[in-house]
Amino acid sequence: GDAGSRALAGPGVRTCRDRAEPAALPPAPLGFTDVNLNSRNTYEVSRRRSAPEHLPHGGDTTPAAPAPPPQQPPERARHRLGIAGAGSSFAEFFTRNFFTKRTKELKPAVQSAPGWKLFGKVPPRENLPKDSKIIQQEYEARTGRMYKPPGPSARRKNIEFEPLSTTALILEDRPANLPAKSVEEALRHRQEYDEMVAEAKKREIKEAHKRKKIMRERFKQEENIASAMVIWVNEILPNWEGMRATRRVRELWWQGLPPSVRGKVWSLAVGNELNITPELYEIFLSRAKERWKSFSETSSENDTEDAGASVADREASLELIKLDISRTFPSLYIFQKGGPYHDLLHSVLGAYTCYRPDVGYVQGMSFIAAVLILNLEEADAFIAFANLLNKPCQLAFFRVDHSMMLKYFAAFEVFFEENLPKLFLHFKSYSLTPDIYLIDWIFTLYSKSLPLDLACRVWDVFCRDGEEFLFRTGLGILRLYEDILLQMDFIHIAQFLTKLPEDITSEKLFSCIAAIQMQNSNKKWAQVFASLMKDNKEGDKNHSPAPKN
């Protein structure tokens, strides 16, 4: 039947009959006021139950539930049926809408009226959730204090110093389905937010002062460089041999070379003991290009085993060059494939492998060649590169001469213990030897470990003082971070020294380098290293086998 189909349809579902005959339903009696307006189905069932005599009689229509007893007054019956009392049928029980949807438009007319739940009445709600404005007014009336929270525009005035957007959420009101903030809580949140904004403002001001200080130092440095450039160009370079060893030039050298004369001073300081000419560079470059071309083609099958082995070594060296170039100063994007200096770096390294096949290519060379290319022309960069790697220290490391490398490490430890005894003992307790961190520094001349501009300044003084300054720089780095390193274990020390902080400045580093004394028992670096070499030779003689008769 019609009423039965409505009962089975469930809450919130209208049957076809409901949509077809809306005008057949009489208006609700004036006495029926306590209904659930969120469920139209329940409302209609209640109307039909309260006035069954108005329902249309048809052959296919059956009542949803038996009519109330005739002896019961109609008003009481309407009240019981409309509220789903104890005598309700199962059909009416299932047509009740237990989980009504919240709607903003429909609100109870009298909030203090008793509500209803599944099992009996709910007592009137005396403490209803109050609006925040009402709570604020009551608080002001009770305390006599006026509080006017700033509007959104006022809160966003200092947008420069405002913390992250999520921080400001503490000022927002809670959603409507949660209890409203009390005035005390709102005041506390406002105070916390103001404190966070004040801290952010302090940090911003501090950073702004720091930036201004850096800019002032940079401007001062540029002025010094400009004035120094005039001295270098007009006075020092024209009289190089006579002035290079003077105290004035050495002090000016320590402050850093102007970029415009850096390459020229490096070339003069490194020298050209190998007498390499630009024409010789072109010869070795053409050989390298022929080798690259031959390696790109199929290898000859008639090579002997020895020749095949040497070809394999050279091919591996060229492949290593290709791989290392892509990893040279990757943040600059100028030496990678397609960059402006990719082919140039490839040419210098390839020509060197042909010029010094006894050394070949070793990882780390690409950084040294790249720094020279940034400051010199192609041929001049090759000449400086070949002569620089011919120095005793570089030759020992790039040839991987273990005995010589150990002597350099031993000399370094002598001055390490002299200058930083506490850190030296800390390293000893973890058996942390210098080769763990020095090899990378020496192989790349600090160009990989330090920022490029700082590495160039290290190179400036290295060209002035020689290999001693490389190890002095290493001690300066350890002195700069001594307090941090003393708190670390073996793994963290190795990781830290492999990847130094990027915020290291030249002023801090060079002040630490200046504090390093390269003297031990009145012996300088060269004397300490020579004594180690002498002791090693005597030890070799003592351990040499006796001659046979």
pLDDT band at 163 (very low <50, low <70, confident <90, very high): very low
Mean pLDDT of 443-468: 94
Collapsing DSSP states into helix, strand and coil, what is residue 518? Answer: coil
Asked if the structure places residue 70 within a domain, the reply is no
How does pLDDT run across 70-125, given as a tens digit for each residue?
444 444 444 444 444 444 454 454 445 544 444 444 444 444 444 444 444 445 55
- 80 vs 113: CA distance, rounded Å: 17
Same-domain status, 369 and 451? no
Q: What is the 3-state secondary structure (H, E, C) of 209-239?
A: HHHHHHHHHHHHHHHHHHHHHHHHHHHHHHH
Mean pLDDT of 388-415: 94
pLDDT band at 146 (very low <50, low <70, confident <90, very high): low
Domain boundary among 390, 416, 442: 390
Mean pLDDT of 478-502: 93
Same-domain status, 291 and 377? yes
Mean pLDDT of 126-136: 58
Strands (E), 129-178: none
How does pLDDT run across 194-209, given as a tens digit for each residue?
888 899 999 999 999 9
Domain boundary among 390, 406, 441: 390
Same-domain status, 412 and 530? yes
One-letter identity of residue 247: R
Same-domain status, 291 and 317? yes
Q: Please, are residues 262 and 460 in contact by the beta-carbon 8 Å criterion?
A: yes
Contacts of residues 306-315 at CB distance under 8 Å and 24 or more positions apart, as own/partner, are 313/360, 314/353, 314/357, 314/360
Contacts of residue 190, defined as CB under 8 A and 6 or more positions apart, other chains included, come to 149, 171
- 546 vs 549: CA distance, rounded Å: 9
pLDDT of residue 136: 61
Q: Exposed, middle or buried by CB within 10 Å (0-12, 13-18, 19+), for 201?
A: middle
Mean pLDDT of 500-523: 90
- The share of the chain scoring above pLDDT 70, in percent, equals 63
pLDDT of residue 193: 87
How does pLDDT run across 357-377, given as a tens digit for each residue?
999 899 889 999 999 999 999
Same-domain status, 402 and 530? yes
Asked if the structure places residue 402 within a domain, the reply is yes
- Tally of domains in the chain: 3
Same-domain status, 360 and 439? no
Mean pLDDT of 347-357: 93
pLDDT of residue 148: 55
Closest CA to 350 of 342, 371, 264: 342
Same-domain status, 353 and 410? no
Asked if the structure places residue 97 within a domain, the reply is no
Asked if the structure places residue 25 within a domain, the reply is no
Residue 284 pLDDT > 80, yes or no?
yes
Half-sphere exposure for 145 (CA within 13 Å, toward CB): 7
Residue 255 pLDDT > 60, yes or no?
yes
pLDDT of residue 147: 52
Asked if the structure places residue 49 within a domain, the reply is no
Both tokens of residue 292? Answer: 């690259």
pLDDT of residue 65: 47
> 462 is in which domain, residue-wise?
397-537
* Separation in Å, CA 465 to CA 238, 384, 461: 21, 16, 6
Asked if the structure places residue 44 within a domain, the reply is no
Residue 538 pLDDT > 80, yes or no?
no
Same-domain status, 373 and 435? no
Same-domain status, 368 and 473? no
Same-domain status, 363 and 438? no
- 378 vs 328: CA distance, rounded Å: 17
Both tokens of residue 52? Answer: 């069954």
pLDDT of residue 427: 96
Domain boundary among 390, 405, 433: 390
CATH number of the domain to which 324 belongs: 1.10.8.270
Closest CA to 420 of 297, 286, 517: 517
Tell which phi-psi region holds residue 172, choosing left (phi > 0), alpha (psi between -120 and 50) or beta: beta
Give the length of the chain: 549
CATH number of the domain to which 523 belongs: 1.10.472.80
Asked if the structure places residue 365 within a domain, the reply is yes
Both tokens of residue 513? Answer: 């380098």
Question: For residue 48, how many other CB atoms are within 10 A of its CB?
Answer: 20
- 505 vs 217: CA distance, rounded Å: 11
pLDDT band at 185 (very low <50, low <70, confident <90, very high): confident
Q: What pairing do the DSSP bridges indicate for beta strands 519-520 and 120-122?
A: unpaired
Q: Indicate the average pLDDT of the chain.
A: 76
Same-domain status, 247 and 279? no
Asked if the structure places residue 122 within a domain, the reply is no
Residue 244 pLDDT > 70, yes or no?
yes
Same-domain status, 411 and 516? yes
